[in-house]
Amino acid sequence: RITRTDPVVAQRQVGLAQGLERRGAAREALGRGSISTEHAAVIVQADRNLPRQVTAVQRDRVEADLLAKAETLSPTALRRAARRALEAVENDVAAVDAHENELVVSEEDRARAKTRLTMHDNGDGTVTGHFTVPSAQGSLLKKIIETITAPRRGRLGASQAQVGEREARTDFDRARGEALVELIEHLPTDHLHPRSAATLVVTVSEEILRGALKAVGLDTGEILSAGEVRRLACNAHLIPAVLGGKSLPLDLGRGSRLFTEAQRIALGLRHSTCAADGCDRPFAWCELHHLHSWALGGRTDLANAVPLCHFHHQRIHDHRYRHTRAPDGSIRFRLVT
């Protein structure tokens, strides 16, 4: 009979049914509603993972042990416990450890084989992507994103204009998306070969670098606002090919425009966080900004350097805001009305 069930789901259901034919106790528990389908699937898979030398009687003991654990554990927790299911019949801890390691290695191999990343240009200034990665890397990414999006104590007393809109946003999906953008921009690229693969090249006039409001094009064909170009030009993410009156390249590269690593270390001794008033984004995640624009004659020295987080670096290049430097060195923003 045609059920129109998804092939992957159907295969999983058939596999579970076949496994339950050999595991009567789990089949009965599922029929009574004592365990869920997910619990039953874990028990069936654990039985398949047992070494061949495990006897039928021993398999029954393993099954009984997992059924007892299923009464208090979630399917996810039971899956972790099932990796050491051999403990129910094996007294040699080293043997149990070795078996568990084999299962984990196999799981990691399968996870790597399933790893994928797809990206699609939506044609509206955004790119939509979908990825599948191993659980360890997925958990690491989740922890990083949660750290970036977590509310920070230092901002509770600051005004909305100083803090920025991040804490006021209720759309958590958007907040996580912006956290991913911030993460991408801060990924180290020194080890990539060639390094130019991690940069964008933009052809831009001196007027735009000096503050003119005009969108410009990248070597990839994308378009960026003038403010975004100026922000990225402060970092290693964008190489400005500056054009003069005759549209000839005046400078391709960063030269003395970028602060050195030694300068960054020295500045880190003065600032532990973003210099924006009320922001406690750590210095390690900050971008160095020329307070007196380099394009307008500003010097690349410590007196002219200020660390700004991703959000506030965008703001300082936003023509809708004005900023001042307080006596304590912090940067304060004011919305132009």
The mean pLDDT value for 119-125 works out to: 93
Cα separation, 187 vs 86, in Å, equals 42
Q: Which alpha helices (H) appear in the chain, and where do they start and end? A: 7-22, 24-32, 37-49, 56-70, 75-82, 93-114, 135-149, 160-163, 172-185, 206-209, 226-233, 261-268, 310-316
Q: Is residue 265 part of a domain?
A: no
Q: Is residue 60 part of a domain?
A: yes
**Based on the number of CB atoms within 10 Å of its own CB, is 209 exposed (0-12), middle (13-18) or buried (19 or more)?**
buried
The mean pLDDT value for 299-312 works out to: 87
Instruction: Check pLDDT > 90 for residue 52.
Output: yes
* Whether 67 contacts 26, CB under 8 Å: yes
More confident residue, 168 or 86: 86
The mean pLDDT value for 145-166 works out to: 54
Residues 12 and 108 in one domain: yes
Instruction: Check pLDDT > 80 for residue 123.
Output: yes
Instruction: Check pLDDT > 90 for residue 61.
Output: yes
Cα separation, 89 vs 58, in Å, equals 6
Q: What is the dihedral of CA 50, 52, 55, 57, to 10 degrees?
A: 30
Residue 228 has a pLDDT of: 64
Task: Please give the structure tokens belonging to residue 222.
Answer: 């994308």
Q: What is the tally of helices (H) and strands (E) in the chain?
A: 13, 11
The mean pLDDT value for 156-160 works out to: 38
What domain range is 214 assigned to? 189-257
Instruction: Check pLDDT > 70 for residue 39.
Output: yes
Cα-based distances in Å from 314 to 28, 191, 309, 319:
61, 27, 9, 10
Domain finish residue from 206, 240, 257: 257
DSSP 8-state assignment for residue 143: H
Cα separation, 257 vs 264, in Å, equals 14
Instruction: Check pLDDT > 70 for residue 79.
Output: yes
Residue 20 has a pLDDT of: 86
Cα separation, 269 vs 280, in Å, equals 15
pLDDT, tens digit (0-9, with 9 covering 90-100), for 232-289: 666 545 555 555 444 433 233 344 678 877 778 778 878 888 999 989 888 878 889 9
Cα separation, 134 vs 146, in Å, equals 18
Residue 151 has a pLDDT of: 63
The mean pLDDT value for 328-336 works out to: 91
* Whether 102 contacts 84, CB under 8 Å: no
Q: Which residues pair with 308 in a beta bridge?
A: 287
Domain finish residue from 232, 257, 282: 257
Extract long-range pairs of 161-170: CB within 8 Å, 24+ residues apart: 161/333, 161/334, 161/335, 162/276, 162/277, 162/278, 162/279, 162/332, 162/333, 163/278, 163/279, 164/279, 164/311, 164/312, 164/315, 166/311
Residue 208 has a pLDDT of: 60
Highest mean pLDDT of the ranges 94-103, 169-178, 206-215, 216-225: 94-103
Q: Is residue 205 part of a domain?
A: yes
Q: Is residue 300 part of a domain?
A: no
What does 262-274 look like in DSSP terms, one character per residue?
HHHHHHHTT-SB-
pLDDT, tens digit (0-9, with 9 covering 90-100), for 183-242: 888 876 665 544 444 555 555 665 665 566 556 665 455 566 666 666 666 654 555 555
Domain finish residue from 208, 226, 257: 257
Give the largest CA-CA distance in the chain.
87
Tally of domains within the chain: 2
Q: Which range has the worst mean pLDDT, 131-135, 179-183, 261-265?
A: 261-265
More confident residue, 178 or 169: 178
> What average pLDDT does the structure give for the chain?
78
Amino acid at 301: D
Cα separation, 168 vs 182, in Å, equals 18
Cα separation, 265 vs 267, in Å, equals 5
Q: Is residue 309 part of a domain?
A: no
Q: Is residue 49 part of a domain?
A: yes
Instruction: Check pLDDT > 50 for residue 158.
Output: no
Residue 112 has a pLDDT of: 87
The mean pLDDT value for 113-141 works out to: 91
* Whether 239 contacts 254, CB under 8 Å: yes
Cα-based distances in Å from 160 to 156, 157, 163:
10, 9, 5
Q: Is residue 271 part of a domain?
A: no
Smallest Cα–Cα separation from 82: which of 29, 27, 30, 26?
26
Q: Is residue 157 part of a domain?
A: no
